[in-house]
Copies of this chain bind each other. A is one copy, B any other.
């Protein structure tokens, strides 16, 4: 079996999102060109990506939306449901708990942790907040795979250590700090500050 690069994975997820949308609009077929346009990529790029998985396009017609979606999902999303836990129920954490964009059938936040006693035992958007000391137990019980790190920067390394220790397999890091974790645990960093700055640099260079 072919190995698939992270970039192809990320783009495929965007395709899936767009295909979802098309399905809702009852569109049956889509060309690589149109799919490309709705994702900001080139049409050849789209075709190359898809050809990683199979040959399913039909000349003159394009791709069967439903089939293509299933194909991509089968290849990319190994599991049915991804269980997620959240560390840090501050502004950002709360916003994430309430984020409406999750594909509920695939992504489920199953627990949240905070050290502030006032927040513990609260329930936000059906997710219960536990004390951090219960992390090991809950992660195991709920079969959580991924952790969101949304605690203040000073604590983020400590919490990251804990996340690795309790067996989480990936970390989505929202704190503006580079984490030091074992190489086998992938980390995705989202630092709003850096996103803005790099966007601005791009904007400058376009002018």
Contacts and interface: CB of A to CB of B under 8 A. Distances in A.
Interface in A1-28: 6, 9-10, 13-14, 17-18, 21
Task: Give the interface size class of chain A.
Answer: 35 or more
A185 B200 CA distance: 10
Interface stretch (A47-55, A58-66, A99-107, A111-119): A99-107
Given A13-B198, A78-B201, A101-B191, 11 more contacts: A6-B198, A9-B201, A17-B194, A79-B200, A91-B95, A100-B152, A101-B176, A102-B196, A170-B202, A186-B199, A188-B195
A106 B195 CA distance: 13
A56 interface: no
Contacts of A152: 100
> How many subunits of this chain does the assembly comprise?
2
A206 B192 contact: no
Nearest to A75: B201
B176 A107 contact: no
Contacts of A13: 194, 197-198, 201
Interface string A169-199: 1111001111010001111101111111111
